[in-house]
Amino acid sequence: MSQHRTPDPELQRSYTLLDQGQLGEARRLAQQCLEQAREAGDELASSRASIALGLIAAYDSRHEEAMQLLLPHVPVLEATEARKELCRAYSVLGFSLGVLGDPERGLEWASKALALAEQQQSSRELVRAQLNRAVLFNQMGDWQRAELSLRAGIEEAQGHGYGPSATAGLSNLAEIHLSQALRCRERHDDAGAARHAQDAGHWYERAIESCIIHGLDNILGEAYAKLARAQVLQSQMAGVPGLLQRAAGLSSDSPVLRAEVSLTQGMAAAESGREQDARHALEHALHIAQECHEPDLVHQILFELSHLERSYGHLQAALQRFEERHHLMMEHFKRRLRMVARSAEVWAEAEQARLAARAAIEREAELIRSQSELLARAAQLQQDAMCDGLTGLLNRRGLEAQARTLWGPGQSDSPLSLAVIDADHFKRINDDCGHATGDAVLKQLGQLLQQDIRASDVLARMGGEEFVLVLPDRTLDEAQRICERVRQRVAEGNWQQCGSHLPVSISIGLSQRQPGDDLETLLRRADQLMYAAKTAGRNCVRSSPGSETS
């Protein structure tokens, strides 16, 4: 089943609304498209609408529902040319699995999204896939690969003018370094904390610039607060109050941001030796974070409170905060285990539906499989007829077929060079080392010749030890340099690995197409020049009298 139809305009509109954050209206339109497709019995349209509903569910943080909607319909899109929706579905499946506590499996889907985006050359989906992979790597604790994915996504986003995506990537990259700085701080590695905090500060400054340009206040406030935190970790206190004041000005609708601001105020006060101010700010941050059910933030605040109490010799209070933090960590691990278990259940349910959908597709494919096999067999026979069985290169018939395109209308005036290449003293190799060694030498020779050619060049084995290399859009001088590199590589090759104790070299005759030349004329002229190279002592290139190199 290979179909390619443009999605319903209403469904395209639902995607536009999704990208604009209007989830309710996007869901209404996608549901309407699903009902119409079911009434019409249109399987592809129904799957496309279900995929859209799954994406909307994921954007609305309903990740279990997203998986249940997406997985059964992915095989339908995989069997068609509806690849744009498929790429986004792969990305969202990966992200949802990460949220549900299974980033390893999520990474498999995100990698499929990346491969498909590269194949389609879809820059927006490429950015989405790279940023999602970075989130999953981060969840797995693989900071280095997370940073590499983020850098690739940011570069792609900036290159195509996707400002908000680039800004999100910059903020996430800064977050990775700040997280590492805080981990170093927990291990009492002050030098490591300062180094990572400096990197975090660099990326937060870039994120802030991008936020201001693109009007992204939702990221800007957090970036101000965390840039201030990075400066505190470096003991650079001068700019901290101003940054926190800007962050506080953007926090009216975000209790989480207010908690972030209070946390950084507490760290700054502790760094400045103001114990009571630090304790008050940190306890205020803890209260807000607990009300918002932000366990990661609560965990960090409890560490800072424990660190504060220990710094001032209040060991009993420090121990109490440590125990609270330990209890929170245990609850986090239990919750993570429950999420992974639930993720496995949802996966199993959705996988069962997906397999049922795939079975239906396979039943339909069975009806045309015999025809496909016949077509494939015919293509293989045609390929065999065009290729040399030993080296896998084109044979003479394949060369002639490829050459037709190079002698077509409008091609005869473009430069083209042709080289006839012949292995020197090849009979001696066969006689002294055996025909199996001779075959191995020919295979390796074919591989060496391929190393210097482009996709538009044509390389063929004409029979025996003779090869032909056609170089379109190459002048004689350019072709001469290529042939000389090839000759030198062959002469310096390790032929003992083929079983030959004899050296291997090649003689090359090179000719350029002249007006009125057909392939046979050019081949004869290059062949004569190849024999001239043999006469000149072998292991050389001859293109015209006086132009020999060896």
- Check residue 354 and give its pLDDT: 60
Find the range with the poorest average confidence among 211-220, 297-306, 354-363, 535-544.
Answer: 354-363
- Check residue 266 and give its pLDDT: 93
- Check residue 548 and give its pLDDT: 43
Backbone torsions φ then ψ of 6, nearest 5 degrees: -70, 135
Tokens matching residue 501: 């104790």
Q: For the chain, how are helix, strand and coil distributed in percent, rounded to 5?
A: 75, 5, 20
Contact 70, 354 (CB under 8 A): no
Three-state secondary structure call for residue 351: helix
- Check residue 321 and give its pLDDT: 80
**Within-domain flag for 4:** no
**Within-domain flag for 283:** no
pLDDT in tens, 389-423: 899 899 999 999 888 888 877 777 789 999 999 99
pLDDT in tens, 179-227: 899 889 888 898 999 999 999 999 999 999 999 998 888 789 999 999 9
**Within-domain flag for 76:** no
pLDDT in tens, 53-98: 988 888 887 887 888 888 888 877 877 766 667 888 888 888 888 8
pLDDT in tens, 451-499: 878 888 999 999 899 999 999 999 999 999 999 999 999 999 888 888 8
Q: Across the chain, what does the average pLDDT equal?
A: 85
Contact 361, 79 (CB under 8 A): yes
Q: How would residue 295 be classed by pLDDT, with cut points 50, 70 and 90?
A: confident
Q: How many structural domains are present in the chain?
A: 1
Please work out, in degrees rounded to the nearest 5, the angle formed at the alpha carbon of residue 178 by the alpha carbons of 173 and 179: 95
**Within-domain flag for 53:** no
The conformation of residue 497, written as its DSSP 8-state character, comes to G
Contact 30, 14 (CB under 8 A): yes
**Within-domain flag for 143:** no
Half-sphere exposure of 314 (CA within 13 A, CB side): 14
How far apart CA 424 and CA 537 sit, in angstroms, is 10
> Global pTM?
0.55
Residue 341, Cβ neighbours under 10 Å: how many?
Answer: 12
**Within-domain flag for 99:** no
**Within-domain flag for 369:** no
Percentage of the chain beyond pLDDT 90 is 39
Q: What is the CATH number of the domain that holds 404?
A: 3.30.70.270
Percentage of the chain beyond pLDDT 70 is 87
- Does the pLDDT at position 287 exceed 80? yes
* Nearest alpha carbon to residue 421 among 359, 491, 516, 515: 491
Contact 41, 119 (CB under 8 A): no
Task: Check the CA dihedral 21-25-28-31 and report its sign.
Answer: negative
How far apart CA 131 and CA 36 sit, in angstroms, is 35
- Check residue 70 and give its pLDDT: 84
Residue 281 burial (C-beta neighbours within 10 Å; 0-12, 13-18, 19+):
buried
- Check residue 520 and give its pLDDT: 93
**Within-domain flag for 538:** yes
- Check residue 278 and give its pLDDT: 92
Positions marked active-site: 465
- Check residue 358 and give its pLDDT: 63
Domain enclosing residue 423, as ranges: 396-542
Alpha helix segments (H runs only) across 387-395? none
- Does the pLDDT at position 549 exceed 50? no
pLDDT in tens, 312-353: 888 888 788 888 777 877 776 676 666 666 656 665 666 666
